Chains A and B, each alone.
Chain A
């Protein structure tokens, strides 16, 4: 008993660090570990991973808010799209064929992963937007953050808000219908479509994920999918890990974060396409 608890806490710490740094929520790490190594029923693994996502979100957000890395307005505004997406996903369960969604989202991820590789190869060019987007100004989405790796304040502008909203809607839909990949899509929406720098994108994704997950978490809570003996030690580990991760992320060069992010995207894309075909 005590060994399992300690093991869960350790997994939680690691998933929390990874989730907080990448803005992925940690569910992507916890679900396969629980099903493959602990032979836990997928139902309970998803239940646990939803608690994990909330723990990562709340744990990392405390530090990201304090250090002003995340963009609260972008989060609030885009949450309109993720929550509507999640709700539509819940309503469309059984109507929409998940097979096609897996293929669609898998392809989108693949496309975004290639885009990120392109950004990585483009070393000298700044990826920051210089466009004055009218909607972004009206919504006061442009902001700045202090990059601890580059040791300077970085001002950034946001563009292509309709594009970002659409991908965010997809992120909500994916989490409502498929239960996976919503963190990756959130980072993509901000980083690839709206041209936000990677660090605020990841931090903002972490913040938003808690809200999207909370909506479905109550369902899992009351239908008995959340096992206390699994979720509690995991969540406690995650809270510690997310706190550590949110500090590590800020001192890591954005380039490194992207290098870790790309293979994970390819991995999620392939597993989605695999489920689709």
Chain B
């Protein structure tokens, strides 16, 4: 038990480091996109869309971004933010695998599968 404990701790430290890095990258990217969109909205005073409309499909969002519509950029930022926890789960699987912690590779893969199923239900 005592010989196993430090190994567990070191393993966790490495995994935490990788996941922390991924989360930071995800948060910085989505925050940057959101700030750009918000600044454009405040500077131009226009959302790029009529009335209170805003894009909710990938097609509409990307065609909006091509013409620099503030709401389209803001929606992309929100979507990136929503993806950060999912990315965290995916990276965890890889990290546990690298540490040869197969039990947790299975546990985390299982979580990802349920997550994907619930995406499709939505």
Whether A235 sits at the interface, judged by CB under 8 Å, is yes
Q: Which label, helix, strand, loop or mixed, suits the secondary structure of the B interface?
A: helix
Stretch at the interface among A101-109, A185-193, A221-229: A221-229
Interface set, chain A 186-232, CB cutoff 8 A to B: 210-211, 213-219, 221-224, 226-229, 231-232
A-B contact count (CB 8 A): 151
Interface centre among A2, A59, A79, A216 (most CB of B within 10 A): A79
Interface residues of A in 231-275 (CB under 8 A from B): 231-233, 235-236, 239
B86 to chain A, nearest CB (A): 5
Tell me whether A221 and B47 are in contact (CB under 8 A). no
With A87-B118, A222-B122, A236-B38 in contact, is A228–B15 under 8 Å at CB? no
Flag whether B117 is at the interface (Cβ < 8 A).
yes
The minimal Cβ–Cβ distance linking A213 to chain B, given in whole angstroms, is 7
Q: Does A139 contact B (CB under 8 A)?
A: yes
Whether, in the assembled complex, B31 has its beta carbon less than 8 Å from a beta carbon of chain A, the answer is yes
Cα A140 to Cα B15 in complex, Å, equals: 15
Stretch in A13-21, A26-34, A65-73, A116-124 with 4+ CB within 8 Å of B: A65-73
Tell me if A182 counts as interface (CB < 8 A to partner B): no
Partner of A55, one of B71, B75, B81: B81
Among A1, A59, A83, A223, the residue within 8 A (CB) of B111 is: A83
Given contacts A54-B82, A62-B23, A224-B54, contact A229 B16 (CB under 8 A): no
A49 within 8 A of B: no
Does A114 belong to the interface (CB within 8 Å)? no
Q: Which residues of B contact A229 (CB under 8 A)?
A: 41, 47, 71, 74
Complex interface bits, B77-120 against A, C-beta within 8 A gives 1, otherwise 0: 11101111110110010000000000110011011001101110
Contact of A65 among B20, B45, B81 (CB under 8 A): B20
Would you call A178 an interface residue if the criterion is a C-beta within 8 Å of the partner chain's C-beta atoms?
no
Q: Which of B17, B19, B78 contacts A226 (CB 8 A)?
A: B78
- Ordered by A's residue number, 15 sampled pairs between the chains whose C-beta atoms are within 8 Å are A5-B38, A59-B27, A61-B20, A66-B20, A73-B12, A79-B89, A80-B110, A90-B118, A211-B115, A214-B82, A214-B83, A214-B84, A228-B37, A228-B74, A232-B74
Residues of A that sit less than 8 Å from B by CB: 1-2, 5, 51, 54-55, 57-59, 61-62, 65-66, 68, 72-73, 76-77, 79-80, 83-84, 86-87, 90-91, 137, 139-140, 143, 210-211, 213-219, 221-224, 226-229, 231-233, 235-236, 239
